[in-house]
Structure 1
Amino acid sequence: MISNTLTEESIQRIKKMGSAIINNVLINEAYAQRFNPSSLNTIRIIFFKTKNGTLKAIRMFHRFGASSDTFVDNTSGGGLAAIIDQETGQLIQAYILRGKRVDIDTHPVTERTITGFMIPDWDAKKRAIADLLNEINYLEYGGLDIAFTPEGIKIIEVNTRFPALRSMQLSSPVLIDDEFVEFLRLRGFDRPIPTINPSNLINET
């Protein structure tokens, strides 16, 4: 049961059930709600701590529910995502994951164009994200899920165990970022990749 107000009907239903959990409902800012009003369409920010102690966003994705009757926007739950150009706020390429990445340009239900869409007021949103990362810089790595609402930026959750390893490399390899390579090296991920002697390979053609 989702509503912005607690109606008399809802109160009576709760009385009959004996107990209930009542929680607030977040509503997207207008631009995100237009893509799919049935889901909370969030932004996933994958960040890590640099050598100087600040948190850096290495990837950002905008996620959207893919059907008209879903509350879920994450790709593992059937949603779709679009890579965000962090400089401009443009959605570079939208995609769904169906065993493999399938690129799409428009929302399958509302038919609104996702790829190429410019997130409004991106400079202000980017500053709000930077301020938020400064607030949680006691963390070293994670996937921060946020939503922009009419009341401003809201934190949904933080995943702190190497989230979205596959999707974070859909736009480009993460190891081209020297600061991220240094982050991994300082945490023990600097073991050399073992070499294979080609003569030991079996040709199975």
Structure 2
Amino acid sequence: MGNLKYLAQRLLDMNYKAMWDKLNAIHSKTGKGRLSILRDMQECAVKYGAGYMDYDLFEMYNLTPEQRDTYLTRGRNNQLVVQYNDKASFDLLGDKIQFNTRFAPFLHRDWVAVTGENKGDVLAFLQRHDTFMAKPSQGSCGWGIEKLRCADYPTLEALYDHLVQRAPNLELEQVLEQHPAVSAIYPGSINTVRMVTIRGKSGKVYLVTAMFRIGNGKFVDNFNSGGMVAPMDPETGEVIDRALDKQKHLYANHPATGTPIQGFRFPDWDKARALVEQAAQVIPQLGYVGWDVCFTPDGPCLVEGNQFPGHDIYQLPVHTPDKIGIMPRFRAIEAAERQQASQGQ
């Protein structure tokens, strides 16, 4: 039923021109007939909750039905969000000011909201930090984030006048210092790890997957803003494959530094796991979260939490040579929860 509801909504919202562009591209790549591809797309939408973008991204035209069923599609991801996350609590993560307030013990950095009514607090922050990050309180994919220097403005008053124009939807943060081993891979951005957790009804927190997100030419590491992603072993914190960018270029070593990516093992991984397990208990109403974690010389800290953890970067074709997605991990968690519930009865 969930897939049918998802399909109905997608039919209403669909960009049909973009769908036909994808269909034609798949036709050119595979030689399969357009009508056959369209029918297969429709079948994947009904059976697996996969839209045409998932169909293309995960190359479902190359997968067997059994393999297709292992992929976390957009439709299935939406179902998990509905299952585990209370919509009324979304802003506790989605609004950066609320997030920083609620998760202050996990931030390990200075920050201040720009409300338009706290000029003294903002000026005090600017006096403490020559360089800082200015972030919109709402937004994703690194959009709207600026790295600013006080020296680029004639006075701190002038800088405040610039910042307050975006009040009350702006917050300022101290620039994080990342661990030297992580910085050696790419020093131009804070390179975070996306750690996805599920908090079961039992209260147990499961680490589902982890992805290394790496900057490449910009000060943000987001895949959709020019960055790269590489899969990790969530148990050990080791990067187990090459990094991929949006243009589908693969890198065993970072193109800017030459430093190896594949095989890198994160320092303090046990501490990072403990960090997200503790963070996942703060808001029980949000049980399915993607945490962005920075590794500093003093240990890991939270950058942000995402109530829509995404589904695409964790199972890209180049990173899944066995053509198996991450859906079995979620099913294993649900099975473990059922078993624990039955034992508790």
**CA distance change for structure 1 residues 77 and 93 in 2, over 3 Å: closer, same or farther?**
same
Please say if residues 14 and 20 of structure 1, whose CA atoms lie closer than 8 Å, have aligned partners that are also in contact: no
2:204 is the alignment partner of 1:79:
no
Partner of 1:95: 243
2:301 is the alignment partner of 1:154:
yes
Give the drift of 1:61. Answer: 0.8
Please say if residues 80 and 94 of structure 1, whose CA atoms lie closer than 8 Å, have aligned partners that are also in contact: no
Partner of 1:57: 207
- Counterpart amino acid of 2:220? V
Question: Does 47-56 or 33-42 show the bigger shift?
Answer: 47-56
In structure 1, what is the Cα distance between the partners aligned to 2:152 and 2:311?
42
Please say if residues 61 and 81 of structure 1, whose CA atoms lie closer than 8 Å, have aligned partners that are also in contact: yes
2:194 is the alignment partner of 1:44:
yes
Give the drift of 1:55. Answer: 2.5
**CA distance change for structure 1 residues 88 and 9 in 2, over 3 Å: closer, same or farther?**
closer
Partner of 1:188: none
In structure 2, what is the Cα distance between the partners aligned to 1:182 and 1:19?
55
Please say if residues 198 and 205 of structure 2, whose CA atoms lie closer than 8 Å, have aligned partners that are also in contact: yes
Partner of 2:130: 5
In structure 1, what is the Cα distance between the partners aligned to 2:327 and 2:150?
56
Give the drift of 1:128. Answer: 3.2
Q: TM-score, normalised by structure 1?
A: 0.72
Partner of 2:314: 168
Partner of 2:273: 126
- Counterpart amino acid of 1:120? P
- Counterpart amino acid of 2:261? I
Q: Report Cα offsets for 1:111-144 as digits up to 9, x if no partner.
A: 1000011112333333333333344444221211
- Counterpart amino acid of 1:153? P
Q: TM-score, normalised by structure 2?
A: 0.45
Please say if residues 93 and 116 of structure 1, whose CA atoms lie closer than 8 Å, have aligned partners that are also in contact: yes
Please say if residues 223 and 245 of structure 2, whose CA atoms lie closer than 8 Å, have aligned partners that are also in contact: yes
Give the drift of 1:19. Answer: 1.4
Task: Name the % identity.
Answer: 27
Question: Does 43-52 or 134-143 show the bigger shift?
Answer: 134-143
Partner of 2:30: none
Q: Report Cα offsets for 1:79-121 as digits up to 9, x if no partner.
A: 011211122221011322435x443211010010000111123
**CA distance change for structure 1 residues 136 and 55 in 2, over 3 Å: closer, same or farther?**
farther
**CA distance change for structure 1 residues 16 and 133 in 2, over 3 Å: closer, same or farther?**
closer
**CA distance change for structure 1 residues 174 and 95 in 2, over 3 Å: closer, same or farther?**
same
In structure 2, what is the Cα distance between the partners aligned to 1:106 and 1:137?
39
More strand by share: 1
**CA distance change for structure 1 residues 19 and 116 in 2, over 3 Å: closer, same or farther?**
same
**CA distance change for structure 1 residues 10 and 104 in 2, over 3 Å: closer, same or farther?**
closer
**CA distance change for structure 1 residues 83 and 8 in 2, over 3 Å: closer, same or farther?**
closer
More helix by share: 2
**Which of 291, 314, 327 in structure 2 is aligned with 1:144?**
291
- Number of aligned residues: 179
Q: Report Cα offsets for 1:50-72 as digits up to 9, x if no partner.
A: 242322121101111012xx111
**CA distance change for structure 1 residues 141 and 128 in 2, over 3 Å: closer, same or farther?**
closer
In structure 2, what is the Cα distance between the partners aligned to 1:17 and 1:124?
37
CA RMSD across the alignment: 3.0
Unmatched segments (≥5 aa) in structure 2: 1-127, 132-148, 164-171, 337-345
**CA distance change for structure 1 residues 168 and 18 in 2, over 3 Å: closer, same or farther?**
closer
Unmatched segments (≥5 aa) in structure 1: 184-205
Partner of 1:28: 178
In structure 2, what is the Cα distance between the partners aligned to 1:132 and 1:16?
37
